[in-house]
Structure 1
Amino acid sequence: MNVFKRFSDRGLRTQIALVFGALVVGLAVLLSLGFGELLKHRIQRDAGASLQVVAENAGKLLAIGLMQRSLEAEVLAGAEMVWSKGLDSPEAQHMLARSQAMQPTNVWIGVADAQGVVRNATGGLLAGQSVAARPWFQSGLRGVHVGDVHAAKLLEKLLPPMASGEPYRFVDFAAPIRIGPTTVGVLGIHGSWEWTREVLETLTPPTSENSAVELFIFDRQGQMILAPHGRASALQAAGQRLPAGTHVNNNRGGGHTQSAVVQWQDGKRYLTAATQLQPRNAASDLGWRIVARQPVELAFAEADHTVRLALLIGLAAALFASVLAWLAARRLSVDLYALADAASAVEAGRPGSDIPAVHSNREVRQLSQALGRMTHRLLAAREAMEEKVRLRTLELEAANRALDLQARTDALTGLLNRRGFESQMAFALALARRSSRPLSLITVDVDHFKRVNDTYGHEAGDEVLRRLARTLESRLRGSDVVARLGGEEFVALLPDTDLAGAQAIAQALVTTMADQQDPVVGTITVSVGVATMRGQESGADILRRADRALYEAKGQGRNRVCVET
Structure 2
Amino acid sequence: MTHPTRFRGQSLRTQISVVFAVLVIALAAAMSLGFGELLKLRVQRDASQALHTVADNASRQLAQGLFERSRVTQVLADAPGIWERGLDSAEVRQLLARSQAIDPHSLWIGVADAQGVVRAATKGLLEGESVRERPWFVAGLAQLHVGDVHPAKLLEKLLPPNASGEPYRFVDFAAPIRSGQTTVGVLGMHGSWEWTREVLESLAPIGIQGASVDLFVFDRTGKLIFSPPEYRSQLEAGNQRLPVPLTVATRESGTPPATVVAWADGKDYLTASVRMEARNAPSDLGWHIVARERVEVAFADADRAVRLALAIGLLAAVLAAALAWIAARRLSEDLYVLADAASRVESGKPGATIPLVTHNRDVHQLSSALSSMTERLIAAHEAMEDKVRLRTLELEAANRALDLQARTDALTGLLNRRGFDSRMEFALALARRSGRPLSLISVDVDHFKRVNDSFGHEAGDEVLRRMAQTLQQRLRASDVIARLGGEEFAVVLPDTDLAGARAIAQSIVESMAAQEDPLVGRITVSAGISSLRAQQDSVHEMLRRSDAALYEAKGQGRNRVCVEPETGPALK
TM-score, normalising length: structure 2:
0.90
Alignment-derived partner of residue 45 in structure 1:
45
- Give 1:395 shift: 2.9
**Are 2:64 and 1:67 equivalent residues in the alignment?**
no
**Correspondence for 2:175:** 175
Amino acid aligned to 2:305 = T
For the residues of structure 1 that align with 2:209 and 2:325, how far apart are their CA atoms? 51
Structure 1 pair 277/29, CA: closer, same or farther in 2 (3 Å)? same
Residue 531 of structure 2 corresponds to which residue in structure 1? 532
CA–CA distance in 2 between the matches of 1:239 and 1:175? 35
- Structure 2 distance, partners of 1:330, 1:480, is 83
Tell me which amino acid in the other structure corresponds to 1:489. E
Cross-structure match for 1:262: 261
For 2:452 and 2:229, the matched residues in 1 are separated by 33
Question: Equivalents in 1 of 2:115, 2:32: separation in Å?
Answer: 76
Q: CA deviation at 1:479?
A: 2.2
1:313 & 1:247 partners in 2: Cα distance? 45
SS in 1 for 2:81: helix
Shift in alpha-carbon separation, 1:396–1:247, aligned structure 2, 3 A: farther
Alignment of 1:271-350 (within 5 A): 271-330=270-329, 332-333=331-332, 335-336=334-335, 339-350=338-349
Residues 447-462 of structure 1 aligned to structure 2 (within 5 Å): 447-462=446-461
Following superposition, the deviation at residue 538 of structure 1 comes to 1.0
Which residue identity lines up with residue 183 of structure 1 in the other structure? T
Deviation of the 1:546 alpha carbon: 2.0
Against the structure 1 CA distance between its residues 206 and 430, is the aligned structure 2 distance closer, same or farther, given a 3 Å change threshold? farther
Q: CA deviation at 1:126?
A: 0.7
Note the residue ranges of structure 2 that are not aligned, 5 or more in a row: 566-572
Residue number in structure 2 paired with 1:226:
226
Q: Is residue 564 from structure 1 mapped to residue 538 from structure 2 by the alignment?
A: no
CA contact 1:248–1:276 (8 Å) conserved in 2: no
State the distance in 1 between where 2:411 and 2:238 align: 43
Question: What amino acid is aligned across from residue 544 of structure 2 in structure 1?
Answer: R
Pairwise mapping of residues 354-433 of structure 1 onto structure 2 (< 5 A)?
354-358=353-357, 361-433=360-432
**What is the distance in 2 between the residues matched to 1:433 and 1:155?**
48
Change (3 A) 1:239 1:118: same
Give the conservation status (yes or no) of the 8 Å contact 1:137–1:188.
yes
Q: Distance in 2 between matches of 1:487 and 1:58?
A: 27
Matched AA of 2:464: L
1:205 to partner: Cα distance: 4.0
Deviation string 1:248-302 (CA, Å, 9 cap, x unpaired) is: 553346x784221222233332222221111111111111111222223332222
Q: Secondary structure at the match of 1:184?
A: strand
1:441 to partner: Cα distance:
1.2
The answer to whether the Cα contact below 8 Å between 1:116 and 1:131 also exists between their aligned partners in 2 is yes
CA distance in 1, matches of 2:364, 2:441: 83
Question: What is the Cα deviation at residue 486 of structure 1?
Answer: 1.9
Checking the alignment, whether the CA contact within 8 Å between 1:51 and 1:272 is kept in structure 2 is yes
- CA distance 1:237–1:109, shift in 2 (3 Å): farther
Query: Quick one: distance in 2 between partners of 1:532 and 1:4?
Result: 97
One-letter amino acid of the counterpart of residue 421, structure 1: F
Q: What displacement does 1:153 show?
A: 0.7
Conserved? CA contact 1:247–1:258, under 8 Å: no
Q: Percent identity?
A: 67
Is the contact between residue 211 and residue 299 of structure 1 (CA under 8 Å) also seen in structure 2? no
CA RMSD of aligned residues (A): 2.7
Q: Which moved more, 1:82-91 or 1:388-397?
A: 388-397
1:475 CA displacement? 2.0
Contact kept? 2:438, 2:492, Cα under 8 Å? yes
CA distance in 2, matches of 1:194, 1:124: 22
**Equivalent AA in structure 2 for residue 123 of structure 1:** K
Show the counterpart of 1:544. Answer: 544
1:370 partner letter: A
2-structure distance, mates of 1:278, 1:450? 39
For 1:493, what is the secondary structure of its paired residue?
Answer: strand
1:30 correspondence with 2:16:
no
Amino acid at match of 1:178: R
Maintained 8 Å contact 1:80/1:179:
no
Counterpart amino acid of residue 285 in structure 1: D
State how far apart, in whole Å, the 1-side matches of 2:315 and 2:245 are.
Answer: 41
User: In structure 1, what is the Cα distance between the partners aligned to 2:308 and 2:133?
Assistant: 66
CA contact (8 A) 1:225 1:232 kept: no
Q: Residue by residue, what CA displacement relative to the aligned partner does 1:397-431 show, whole Å, maximum 9, x if unpaired?
A: 23322222222211211111112111211121122
| Partners of 2:208 and 2:298 within 8 A in 1 | no
Secondary structure of 2:517's aligned partner: coil
Partner amino acid, structure 1, of 2:200:
L
CA contact (8 A) 2:151 2:170 kept: yes
Q: Aligned residue for 1:153?
A: 153
Distance, in Å, in 2 between the alignment partners of 1:225 and 1:484 is 35
Q: CA deviation at 1:32?
A: 0.9
Q: Which residue of 2 aligns with 1:487?
A: 486
- Indicate if the aligned counterparts of 1:245 and 1:260 stay in contact, CA closer than 8 A: no
Deviates more, 1:380-389 or 1:465-474: 380-389
- Where 1:528 maps in the other structure, the secondary structure is strand
Distance in 2 separating the partners of 1:29 and 1:457: 74
Indicate how the Cα distance of structure 1 residues 478 and 80 shifts in structure 2: closer, same or farther if over 3 A, else same.
Answer: closer
1:82-106 Cα offsets, whole Å, 9 max, x none, are: 2222111222222222222222211
Cα pair 1:314 1:374 within 8 Å, conserved: yes
Q: 2: CA distance between counterparts of 1:230 and 1:402?
A: 30
- Deviation of residue 349 (structure 1)? 2.6
Query: 1:21 maps to which residue?
Result: 21
Go from structure 1 to structure 2 and tell me whether the alpha carbon gap of 1:137 and 1:478 turns closer, same or farther (over 3 Å shift): same
Query: Residues 235 and 265 of structure 2 are in contact (CA less than 8 Å); yes or no, is this contact kept in structure 1?
Result: no
- Partners of 1:200 and 1:561 lie apart in 2 by 44
